[in-house]
Structure formats: structure tokens, C-alpha cells
A and B are shown apart, each in its own frame.
Chain A
Amino acid sequence: MSAAAPLLQAAALCPRRSDGAALQHPLSIDVKAGETVCLVGPNGGGKTAYLRALAAVDKPAAGTLTLLGKDSSRLNTDAWRALRLRAAYVLEGAPLLSVVNGLINVTLPAMYHRLGSATQVAAAAQELLKFLDYPGRQDLLPAYLNQHERLLLAIARCLMLSPELMFLDEPFHMTDNACREREAAVFRRLTRDKGLAVLIATHNLGFVRRHADKIVFLHPQWVGSFDGWKPFSASTQAEVRDFLDTDQR
């Protein structure tokens, strides 16, 4: 795959909600390496459903998705598992395995996939935690860590597998402004330094305004995509205007 080729191509993608109901508005989008794509919109717009469909986590109701050169509709279980190493997904709340400490959470996927000896994996984990400016203790169980620390560990364990794409569902959930700034800086480093494409479903419009290369607006009545904040904020679409005006109020 050439450097300019999209890592993700979705055409007329209509996902399903967790209750199985199909969302009616199709989404078409291309995502290239190093891009930050933000999925925004009011509650009920289907941000999580679209993000999961774009990540090939859930099968869509309609449309096609090519992820890292693979047609998502033709993936068998083994191919889907192999794809997960290259297309990481961090769930809302960044749940970590509660029975092992922070460091083991980071090293576990790499150990499972036999990506190196225990020493190599531990060294790679330390390097990544340094890269992410992880401020917490590594020897504590996730229950004793704050949400910001848990998120960084969840990102670190994904990065251990050297993905090309990262999907994050509400990563700024339950963190204060200072932590949000640090998290935003982490996402910038992921795209700039590691060349990852990052897709984020978020309510944090401050981050979207400053960092989004593409914006996907998801509303129960309308879905559309924009090349950055400028066209998005200048949109005359009623749903977008209503959403932005509500945010400003």
C-alpha cells in the first residue's frame, strides 16, 4: 500500500446500534495515515455505532468498508483478530483487565501475540509509557488509578501491537481540563510522530476545533463530513448550526 493510499475507506456505511436497529444515514469517508478524524454530534446521533462500524468491530447494516486494504465483509474470525493488531480500538472508559496491574495490562497483549521476549516486551512498554508521559504508578491495579492514567495505559497496550489506525470512543470522558490537554497532546504525537490515523468519537469540541483534520457530524436527522473545523463551523446545515449554537450557549 502506498503512503498516500487511504488506510480506511467507507462507502455509504450504515451501522447498527447495540439493539440491532440500523441507522438510516449513510457515511462515506477516506482516512489517511497521520490524520485526526473526529466524530461529533449530539447524544443519540450514533457516534459509537459509526465508530464501531468504521473500525470493523460491528458488521454494518449496509455499505462497504475497506480497512487496511481488506474488505471487512470478507474477514473470517482469524483475519478479524489479525486485523485488530493493526486497527486498535479503545472502548469508552478505557477498561483495563482489573485483575492485573498497570504494567502487565500494557505488556499482556504483546506477550499473548509473542511479539518478543519478556525483557524486550517490558523494555518496549517502558519506552511507550515514557512516550505517553504516563504519570501514574505501574504496579497498581487499574481500580487504584485515575481515568487519565487508565486511558494512557489502554493506549499504551494498543501501541505495543504497532497499529496503523487507532479508534477511541470518548477518550476525554471523566477527565479534567488539564488532563484533556495532556491527552490532546498525546493524540497529536500519535499522528505526528508515529504516523497513526486516529479516529475519535468525542464531545470535546475544543480538541476538535484545534486538531481535527476531518470532522464527521452525526445527528439523528443528518450525517455529513467536513475537512476540518473551518468548513464545519461555517456550515449552514440546520442540524450543525443548532449543535454548535447549543454548545456555545
Chain B
Amino acid sequence: MAEARAARGSLIGWLGRGLIDLGLYIVDLTVFVLRAFRDWARRGRVFNRATLQNIYGQVIFTGLDALPLIIFLGLAVGLSITSQLLKLGQTIGGEQDVGALLVNIVGNELSSLLTAIVLIGRSGSAIAVDLGGMNLRGEVEGLELLGINVNEFFVTPRIIGAAISQFVLAVFFAGIALFGGVFIMTVLGIEGASLHQLKRMAEGVDPQVIAVFALKNVLFGVIIAGTACYHGFRARVSPTELPQQTQRAIVMSLVLVFAADGLLAVVS
């Protein structure tokens, strides 16, 4: 009896400590990101060629370079999930509901989440490794000693670049998954699919959905790049810290993106 109580107590304690740690981590990360934006905004360096180059670089790497993968995944989701929902819609509801269902599930939820997962695996890990390596080799300190604000130079451009890329890629993903899926199903002559569905989907989109979609994807971009930079800068002394911080960046990005998605779904 006493043992069971002790075990229950230790489990609650473990959960409590975990929650406190997570809360402190979120506060720390938020302060890190806000400080980076404060440094950037305070000195009005958005048009500084040195930092602007970093934003371009991040958009090219995170956005443009990931486009083929996003197109492929969008088509795959279009063929699998969109087609399933189309068939399901035929049996359980009217065409109007199918349009709204597709827009909400595929367009709003899946496209944002799957794009975020791609970006976490591709860009989040790359940013953490890149910054961590630079930090370990003294490249970051070398720039700091030239009077360069590393928040403004390294962190903010990556966050802005990732946020823009996440939003644009999610739009591409949603478009390809919805329209591509319906189009291919129609061309293949699958029952229940017709280009008429596209009109239904367009009717299912309202300004609130677009606003939530935009907000969500910008937030995901900030989380992905912010977490990656935060952990990248934590690799300070030993090269062994680099893989540890990178995997933490990936895991924490996934946790925070899914948590933010759930929170936004509840709030909106």
C-alpha cells in the first residue's frame, strides 16, 4: 500500500517536474526569440545588406530547395487522403460538407503540419547543426568581436526566412493536395471525384480560415527556426554537444508545433 502510494507520488512528481521544465523551456525560448527580434527592430537593420543576404539564403534553402519535396508530398496526400475523403463524403454527407471537410482537414491541418514536419527535418536540423558548428569553431565569437550582434545577424534572418518559407510552402502543399488530388482522381475517373468539387472547396474557404492558416504557419516557422537557433547556440565546448542539441531541437520543435496546432484548433 505504502509502496503503491510512493510510486504514485513519484509519478506525479515526475510529471510535475516535466511540466515545470517544459514551461521554463518555453519561457526561455520565447525570451530568446523576442530578444532576437528586439535587437533586429531596434537597429532597423532589415535593409542591411549583410543580414538581408541571410534572409534570402534562408528562404532559398528552406523554401525554394524544399519545393520539389513539398510538391511530391502534396500530390501523395492528394491521391491518398483527398481521395479517401472524397469517397467518404459520398457516403456520409452532402457535397457542401465534403468541400468544407477537405479545406479544413487537408488544406488547413494536414498541409500545415506536414510542411512543418518537412521543415523541422530539413531546415531545423540544418540550422541547429550549422549554428552549433559555427559556435564551436569560434566563428560566431569572431563576428561578435567585430561588433556584430549575432542575434540580429544569425537568428532573426533565419526565423523570418523560415516563417516566410513555411507559409508559402504550406500554401503550395494545400493547393497541390486539394486541387491536384481532385484533378488526378477526376482524370482517372474515380467514382465521386469531379472538378465540381473544386468549386465546393473554394466555397468552403472563409477569411477566418485563411487568417488562422496564415497565423499558424508563420508561428510554425518561428517555432522551427527559433528552436533550432536556440539549441544551435547551446553547443559551446565539445563537438559531442552538436548531435545532442540537434536532436533536442528536432524533438522540441515537433512537440511545440503539435501543441501550437492543437491550441490554435481549440481557440479558433
Residues of A near any B CB (own CB < 8 A): 57, 81-85, 88-99, 108-109, 111-114, 118, 154, 157-158, 161
Contact = CB atoms under 8 A, between A and B. Distances in A.
18 contacts: A82-B147, A84-B145, A85-B146, A85-B147, A88-B146, A91-B142, A93-B138, A95-B139, A99-B134, A111-B48, A111-B49, A111-B50, A112-B48, A113-B147, A118-B49, A158-B146, A161-B146, A161-B147
Interface string B132-161: 011001110111111111000100000000
Contact of B142 (A81, A96, A113): A96
B51 interface: yes
Interface string B118-136: 0000000000001001100
Nearest to A83: B147
Contacts of A161: 146-147
How big is chain B's contact interface, by range?
20 to 34
Contacts of A89: 145
A187 to B, nearest CB: 18
Interface string B52-67: 0000000000000000
B51 A112 contact: yes
A163 to B, nearest CB: 10
Which 5 pairs between the two chains have the least Cβ-Cβ distance?
A84-B147, A95-B138, A112-B50, A109-B146, A89-B145
Given A88-B145, A89-B145, A98 B134 contact: yes
A82 B50 CA distance: 18
A92 B153 CA distance: 22
A83 B145 CA distance: 9
A109 B143 contact: yes
Majority-rule SS of B interface residues? helix
B54 to A, nearest CB: 10
A99 B50 CA distance: 13
Interface string B249-265: 00000000000000000
A96 B147 contact: no
Majority-rule SS of A interface residues? mixed
B139 A98 contact: yes
B87 to A, nearest CB: 49
A84 B146 contact: yes
A98 B147 contact: no
A147 to B, nearest CB: 14
Q: Which of B48, B50, B51, B134 gathers most chain A CB within 10 Å?
A: B50
A91 to B, nearest CB: 5
Nearest to A114: B48
Nearest to A108: B50
Nearest to B143: A97
Q: Which of B49, B139, B142, B143 gathers most chain A CB within 10 Å?
A: B142
Contact of A81 (B133, B134, B149): B149
A185 B143 CA distance: 25
Contacts of A57: 145
Contacts of B51: 112
A226 B266 CA distance: 72
B147 A97 contact: no
